[in-house]
Structure 1
Amino acid sequence: MIASLYISMMPVIFGGIFNMLFVKIKKLSFLRIPIDCKMSLGGKRIFGDSKTLLGFVGMMLGTSIFSIMWGFILKISGLENCNLIYKYHYNTLIFNMFTGMLFGFAYMIFELPNSFIKRRFDIDASHRGRFPVNIFVFIYDQTDSMLGVISVLAVLGRLTLPEYILGIFLGAITHIVVNLVLIVFGVRRYL
């Protein structure tokens, strides 16, 4: 099951890395429009400057591209049956493009409540508050997007509740490991 979860989620992993690089492209700065349009609620920004149209576009584009490529790789390698989604759906270019966009959209949408909460409590990305709040914020930072992504996988791959929980746990651990690698390579500044 663990291998199948990773095989099913590989486009999201690579899509997230793609997005980290995509949002750094200076020529795309015209898309750095904050999702909250710089609106405030109670004197504080709704989501902040880090949640932008560029991030949404990059994540949806990246997961779509990698879903298409990964579907092709699984087809030619004979590993389609290891992908939980392909047990119930055909591995086609259009389907993979659609699911990739859906994964990317879910990833970004499920990050928004976290950003909203952090703005309310003045918690920025580099300083996560004091104990025990910092532990809760760290865990939520690593699992928020996974809740969305694994929810999409749960519907498409018909996951059971234990499989769903395992997917979120593995997704959070993978998120931490990938972020640590990105820090080492200078793509990210903080976990």
Structure 2
Amino acid sequence: MAGAGAPDRGAAVTSRVKRAVWLTAPILIAGLVHVAVITRDVAPALARPIDGGRRCRGRPLLGRNKTWRGFLVMPAATAITIAGQQAFAARAAQLAALGPLARRAPPAWMVGALCGAAYVLAELPNSFVKRRLGIAPGTSAPRARAAQYLVDQVDSVVGCAVAIRMLYRIDTVDAAMSALFGAACHVAVERFMRVLPRRSRAPR
């Protein structure tokens, strides 16, 4: 009996991994589009801080790295990638089964826009707290560097995980696995961004 159950468990894990990759892929692609926009400094007029330079107790509200460009690019790019993915999945039952939208979910493009919005909105509390602690954008405090790095990498991912849990017919385990896969991809992209020439690291 134990031997018979092992393949079933393995198949279940494989299915969840495939679902995590499928759910994360369009958000990852949108994120790479965002990286390209940043590195090539596309639409520089939109690279203005969303806090408008406002300050709270003498410190920036959010900082120069949180710009209208990122606030617009991520939702727009994710709207396109998720709409495209769902259109492709409509022609392949096996793919459609990996990430069906919730019964009362809005159209696919709107689901994408909401996921992209969740991505950027989830970063704002972290930025707000760091500015209150006097930590400059793109840096970390001498203490608890590991904890700060972890939060920096998972804040947006957690926001996306919450969004897909609400907008897709998946369970919490699937959302958590998607978050883990997304976090790993986020770290990889962040490492890549660090090796870029400094002039390519424009505000988001």
Q: TM-score, normalised by structure 2?
A: 0.78
Match of 2:112 among 100, 103, 107: 100
Stretch of structure 1 that moved more, 73-82 or 10-19: 73-82
Per-residue deviation, 1:161: 3.6
Change (3 A) 1:152 1:121: same
Greater relative CO (CA pairs within 8 A, separation 6+): 2
Structure 2 partner of 1:168: 179
Gaps of 5+ in 2: 1-15
Residue pair 1:28, 1:54 contacting (<8 A) in 2 also? yes
Residue pair 1:23, 1:58 contacting (<8 A) in 2 also? no
Change (3 A) 1:124 1:73: farther
Structure 1 partner of 2:124: 112
Per-residue deviation, 1:183: 4.7
Match of 2:71 among 50, 53, 56: 56
SS at match of 1:141: helix
Change (3 A) 1:115 1:19: same
Percent of residue pairs bearing the same amino acid type = 24
Aligned length in residues: 184
Mapping of residues 139-158 of structure 1, within 5 Å = 139-158=150-169
Per-residue deviation, 1:130: 2.0
Change (3 A) 1:178 1:56: same
- For residue 117 of structure 1, what is the amino acid of its counterpart? V
Change (3 A) 1:188 1:82: farther
Structure 1 partner of 2:23: 8
SS at match of 2:166: helix
Matched, 1:34 2:34: no
RMSD of Structure 2 on Structure 1 (CA): 2.6
Q: TM-score, normalised by structure 1?
A: 0.83
